[in-house]
């Protein structure tokens, strides 16, 4: 693994930015409370490990084929991070949070959290773009990416727990604040663009 401190910093910042899974946890916490939020996090984490395994398997297979191809994948991944950053920076308006009156069972919460994460194509692309940036071509790419995925979960957990606790009380107020939502989008955009430039064109 390389740039571990940068990985930790990027993960913490990205975990605080509202994506599909972030919003799902917020919705369940607003509508059903803290317990539902925690169960939803567990479901999301199952999906994240699925994407980690898929990304690690794909990257390892590419590395076995060619170290040059692995470098190309890293550069393409960095460009994708920059693209995501531009999209986030241009985003305006309130967070689109649709409340639900459905009081789901614990099993349904776990299942929906897992499916929300597993079936999210943007998350699959993100992990394939993000994780290889921190793996050296001459290393055990599969093992290192699995470890990075686990570290991603460990670092994200306290932030998502904070989201649950905060959302159960103030989430609806925050989601209706257009200025805050726009500011979050611009901050996320700058972070992703900077991360993509550094990893793809400075570190390579």
- 178 vs 109, higher pLDDT: 109
Mean pLDDT of 168-185: 64
Q: What's the CA gap between 53 and 55, in Å, rounded?
A: 6
Q: What is the mean pLDDT of residues 1-5?
A: 75
Could you report how far apart the first and last alpha carbons of the chain are, in Å? 14
Give the model's pLDDT for residue 181: 64
* Closest C-alpha to 5, from 198, 201, 200: 198
- Cα 44 to the chain's mean position, in Å? 10
| 112 vs 17: which has the higher pLDDT | 112
Contacts of 140 (CB under 8 A, 6+ apart): none
Across 19-43, b (16+ Cβ under 10 Å) vs e yields bebbbbbbbbbbbbeeebbbbbbeb
Position with higher pLDDT, 66 vs 53: 53
Predicted pLDDT of residue 99 = 54
Percent of the chain clearing pLDDT 70 (strictly above) = 82
Residue 43 pLDDT: 94
pLDDT one-digit tens code per residue, 9-37: 888 888 887 777 887 888 788 878 889 99
The pLDDT of residue 145: 92
Is the pLDDT reported for residue 47 higher than 80? yes
Alpha carbons 145 and 57: distance in angstroms, whole number: 9
Q: Are 10 and 195 in contact (CB under 8 A)?
A: yes
Cβ neighbours of 110 (radius 10 Å): 18
pLDDT in tens, 75-111: 877 887 788 778 778 866 555 555 555 677 899 999 9
Q: Outline where DSSP puts E strands in 81-137.
A: none
Each residue's pLDDT tens digit, 115-143: 888 887 778 888 888 888 888 877 788 99
Instruction: Count CB atoms within 10 A of the CB of residue 147.
Output: 17
* Residue 22 CB contacts under 8 Å (≥ 6 apart), including other chains: 160, 163
Q: Which whole number is the average pLDDT over 156-175?
A: 78
* Alpha-carbon gap, residue 180 to 188, rounded angstroms: 12
Q: Is the dihedral of CA 182, 19, 11, 90 positive or negative?
A: negative
pLDDT of residue 22: 80
Is 168 exposed, middle or buried, given 0-12, 13-18 or 19+ CB atoms closer than 10 A?
buried
Domain boundaries, the chain: 4-202
Instruction: Identify the CA nearest to 189 among candidates 92, 74, 44, 72.
Output: 92
Average per-residue pLDDT for the chain: 80
């Amino acid at each position: 693994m390389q740039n571990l401190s940068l990985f930790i910093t990027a993960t913490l910042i990205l975990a605080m930015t509202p994506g599909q899974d972030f919003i799902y946890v917020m919705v369940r916490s607003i509508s059903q409370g803290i317990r539902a939020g925690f169960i939803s996090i567990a479901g999301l984490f199952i999906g994240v490990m699925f994407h980690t395994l898929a990304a690690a398997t794909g990257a390892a297979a590419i590395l076995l084929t060619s170290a040059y191809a692995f470098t190309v994948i890293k550069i393409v991944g960095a460009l994708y991070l920059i693209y995501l950053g531009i999209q986030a920076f241009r985003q305006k308006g309130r967070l689109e949070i649709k409340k639900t009156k459905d009081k789901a069972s614990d099993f349904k919460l776990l299942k929906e959290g897992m499916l929300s994460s597993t079936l999210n194509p943007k998350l699959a692309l993100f992990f394939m773009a993000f994780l290889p940036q921190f793996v050296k071509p001459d290393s055990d790419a599969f093992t290192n990416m699995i470890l990075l995925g686990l570290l991603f979960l460990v670092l994200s957990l306290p932030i998502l727990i904070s989201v649950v606790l905060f959302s159960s009380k103030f989430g609806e107020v925050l989601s209706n604040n257009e200025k805050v939502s726009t500011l979050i989008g611009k901050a996320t955009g700058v972070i992703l663009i900077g991360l993509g430039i550094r990893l793809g064109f400075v570190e390579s």
